[in-house]
Amino acid sequence: MSAFHTTIDLVYVAAASCFILGLHLMNNPSSARRGNQVSTAGMVAAVAATLALIVHSGAISVTGWIVMTAGALVGASAGLYSARTVQMTAMPQLVSVFNAVGGGAAALVGIHDYMTLADAGRGVPGSITVTTLLDVIIGAVTFSGSVIAAGKLQGLITSAPVTFPGARVINLLLAAVALGACGYLITTPSLLGLAIVIVAALAFGVSMVMPIGGADMPVVISLLNAFTGTAVAMAGFVIGNWALIIAGALVGASGGILTKLMADAMNRSIGNIIVGGFGTGDSAAAAAPGAGAGVRAIEADDAAIQLAYASKVVIVPGYGLAAAQAQHAVAELAELLESRGVEVSYAIHPVAGRMPGHMNVLLAEANVPYPQLKEMDEINPEFSRTDVALVIGANDVTNPAARRPGTAISGMPILDVDQARSIIVIKRSMGHGYAGIDNELYANPKTSMYFADAKKALAGLTSAVKTLVG
Amino acid sequence: MSTALLTDLVIFVLSLWVGFEVISKVPATLHTPLMSAANSIHGIVLVGAMLIAVTANNAIGYVIAFAAAAFAAMNVVGGYVVTGRMLKMFRRRPAQAENGKPS
């Protein structure tokens, strides 16, 4: 190996080290920004080394330069624009789109490599065929699956589970077709065979994500993230590049961990989520306000007095808060309470939002300092010392029914909101959560229901606190 | 199995373990930026997209190389920018208290 190529390989090793260090620095919010900068530096180095390699080899045509530069410019502008303008509530969609293009690019690298080898007519080595097929299949499934997931999150495709009779048969057929074509390709290089594999994989991605409902999105996004990483690693196997293998494996591990965490937080197996058909989706029929025995309604003034004279308040935000765009309103109320000497913290369930950690980002955007954001295990022991638990737009994750066997959510880890001295629930109606069952918390004698839209309710509470105890 | 493939496989498996080890220490508060950061890291596929522009020599090859470069560049640029944007919002104290100071 020439000194030049050794240098290039060493730069790739340095880049991979930067990625690992960058992820390591993300173990604390105070060092996370530096982590992102270190990771960016590694990426710039890897791309620069690749450019040097291309120039040095001198094999690229003028058209090749133009195509590469134009493609990179188009993509970079699209990425920059979407990253700068995206709303924080739309972050899960954007992450899905980046998963899609990452997986798509990995698949294209594999496809191109295979076509070049097949065109040369010298046959394709078995090890290359296997890694290429893995790359193309995982990449294509990720691409179409992520596009569907992004469409569901953006509301372009219904977020309710889409199922129809025979769906499972179609999935099995697609898998059989893809496997059959793969088996053929291992013995005989064939572009038609590859095309069949690509189409089957794309169709499989669609049919995999369509039956999955909105509230299961945190699991799906994490899983697709893991797929993308694996596809990129496979692309690294195909072109023999260690930087791609290491980076892809890191992302695969990250996506894998998050998938497991999200599935555990809903007490469901990943297989169960992929097969779908849980509850009735987000839009469960809403019962009339006040329906149900023993439910006590409350008005803004009473709720404001409880909050203002409490010494410890825990806010429990759920997806409903984000849907109502009420994160700034809640932060304003919390700040007002804090200025009166009330200790305020936020209890964040792992699946509060549409992707892992989503609620934390939404609250950080509303200027909530991160030490106030408490994870479930950290906050649960504190509820017994809490004067008021303020539940906003969270439902199933606060339902004590999860502690008993035999309900739809049995065994799901929940926030122990019912341990607080009193509980105020802001909710538009007595409608059900995703699991489609009654929330026993609402019938608790310590609970008062404040029936209103989250944003209006919070603004009402803030002004009531100001006027009553100013 | 060839030595090259075996080496690649060893690197892949060890990197997976490093990934599990490093990422399991990331707090839940940062899981969205983490996923976004992981997203930008898989933008390394841009290296692969650049390399196929070298071997492309017909119309289909050029179309694939263009699409791959565009996809990968969108992934890498968008990923890093949006991760940086998110991490900037995580503050220890309310924003007002930190005005004028670099965070």
Give the residue from B45, B60, B103 with the most A CB atoms within 10 Å of its CB, the best one to mutate. B45
State what percent of residues in chain A have pLDDT above 70.
Answer: 95
- From chain B, the residues in CB contact with A149 under 8 A are none
Q: Residue B56 corresponds to which tokens in the numbers above?
A: 């492309």
Residue of B nearest to A18 (CA): B41
Three-class secondary structure of residue A294 per DSSP: coil
Tens digits of residue pLDDT in A59-108 = 888 999 999 999 999 999 999 999 999 999 899 999 999 999 999 999 99
Q: What is the DSSP letter of A407?
A: S
| Cα–Cα distance list, A41 to A29, A38, A75, B34, B40 (Å) | 19, 5, 19, 17, 12
Q: Which of A113, A216, A396, A416 is catalytic?
A: A396
A73 interfaces chain B, CB cutoff of 8 Å: yes
B44 min Cα distance to partner chain A (Å): 6
Host H or E run for residue B98 = none
A256 min Cα distance to partner chain B (Å): 8
A396 is catalytic: yes
Give the separation between CA A240 and CA A3, rounded to whole angstroms: 19
Q: What is the DSSP letter of A390?
A: E
- From chain A, the residues in CB contact with B98 under 8 A are none
pLDDT averaged over chain A?
88
- From chain B, the residues in CB contact with A59 under 8 A are 54-55
- From chain B, the residues in CB contact with A413 under 8 A are none
Q: Which of A163-172, A371-380, A415-424, A448-457 has the lowest mean pLDDT?
A: A163-172
Q: Which of residues 81-100 of B touch A (CB under 8 A)?
A: 81-95
Predicted local confidence at residue A76, as pLDDT:
96
- pLDDT band at residue A277, thresholds of 50, 70 and 90? very low
Predicted local confidence at residue A172, as pLDDT:
85
Specify whether the CB–CB gap between A112 and A237 falls below 8 A. Answer: no
Whole-model pTM: value is: 0.89
pLDDT higher than threshold 60 for residue A289: no
Q: Where are the alpha helices (DSSP H) in B3-103?
A: 3-23, 31-41, 45-55, 59-89
Predicted local confidence at residue B26, as pLDDT:
93
Q: CA triplet A453, A459, A461: central angle to 5 degrees?
A: 95
Predicted local confidence at residue A322, as pLDDT:
84
Q: What is the DSSP string of A230-270?
A: HHHHHHHHHHT-HHHHHHHHHHHHHHHHHHHHHHHHTT--H
State what percent of residues in chain B have pLDDT above 70.
Answer: 89
Residue of B nearest to A358 (CA): B32
Specify whether the CB–CB gap between B78 and A98 falls below 8 A. Answer: yes
A451 min Cα distance to partner chain B (Å): 29
Domain residue ranges of chain B, discontinuous segments joined by +: 27-91
